Amino acid sequence: MSHEGILLVNKPAGITSHDVVARLRRITGVKKIGHAGTLDPFATGLMILLVGKNYTRKSAHFTGQDKAYHARLYLGIATDSYDIDGKKTAESDYIPSEEEVFASIEEQNGERLQTPPMFSAKKIKGKKLYQLARQGVEVARPPVQVHLETTLLSYTYPHVEIAVSCSKGTYIRSIAHEMGEKLTCHAHLDQLVRTRCGDFLLENSHTLEELESCWQEVLRT
């Protein structure tokens, strides 16, 4: 029996996107499985898994779609990766006002140029940036044109919660870092949930445990 199609997975925190693919290969017995966009290990939420050759070849279609996130920023500390998994690089005890936070979010709207973080899979002259970053090397990164719709959800120092709808190639970690620099208090991303990818929604996804249970039911019928 051939198993092909699209699976919407609610990725848990603490595992890589590669781990999700490997787990689904074990669950389904299908070797040809890909995904349409990674999530960092600390991040959670929607991943589109493409099962079978007829679907993995369509990955570019899915990766090019707009995405939406709920994110939480931690003010007062900057890290080298711009997120909670990085090493602390700067610290501040300055507490921005709500008006300052709102103004910095307004700057994260519309068409704008965003510089990719060093800790990213983007390639410069054939080398992935995170490989250079781990060697302590920092190189110039050309900014990328992105489209952002950023909304303030709540602010209780040191946490700022935002909703972001964005185009392909956007780094939410860079939004956190840029806001921290604008507010002169530093910041990093400490929670991230992907809620939408194109027309696919997190609410329609399943945990790996649910998919494993469902697959066992399919095999028994």
pLDDT value of residue 218: 55
Q: Which domains does the chain have, with CATH numbers?
A: 5-64+198-220 (3.30.2350.10), 67-197 (3.30.2350.10)
CA-CA-CA-CA torsion for 153, 178, 98, 158, nearest 10 degrees? Answer: 80
Is it the case that residue 2 has pLDDT exceeding 60?
no
Cα separation of 45 and 195, whole Å? 6
Token pair 């992935």 in the structure block, residue: 128
- 76-85, 100-109, 210-219: least confidently modelled range: 210-219
Give the number of other Cβ atoms within 10 Å of residue 194's Cβ. Answer: 24
- For the chain, what is the radius of gyration of the CA atoms? 19
Name the E strands within the chain: 5-11, 33-35, 44-51, 67-75, 77-79, 88-91, 110-114, 123-124, 127-128, 144-156, 159-166, 187-197, 200-201
Tokens of 146: 């992105």
Output the pLDDT for position 178.
Answer: 95
Give the pLDDT of residue 217: 62
Is the predicted pLDDT of residue 129 greater than 50, yes or no? yes
Find the mean pLDDT for residues 94-118.
95
Residues 129-149 have a mean pLDDT of 88
**In the structure, what pLDDT confidence band is assigned to residue 219 with cuts at 50, 70 and 90?**
low
C-alpha span between 24 and 4 (Å, rounded): 12
**In this predicted structure, what is the pLDDT of residue 61?**
83
Rounded Cα–Cα distance for residues 182 and 99 (Å): 13
Contact between 130 and 118 under an 8 Å Cβ cutoff? The reply is yes
**Region 16-27: what's the mean pLDDT?**
93
Active site residue 40: yes
What is the C-alpha separation between 32 and 30, in angstroms, rounded?
6
Q: How many residues does the chain have?
A: 221
Global confidence as pTM: 0.91
Pairwise CA distance, residues 42 & 21, whole Å: 16
Terminal CA-CA length for the chain: 12
Give the residue-averaged pLDDT of 201-210.
Answer: 95
Give the model's pLDDT for residue 109.
Answer: 96
Task: Considering the candidates 19, 40, 66, 83, report the single residue annotated as catalytic.
Answer: 40
Q: Which of the four pLDDT bands, split at 50, 70 and 90, describes residue 1?
A: very low
Q: Give the residue, 5 or 163, on which the prediction is more confident.
A: 163
| Mean of all residue pLDDT scores within the chain | 92
State what percent of residues in the chain have pLDDT above 70.
96
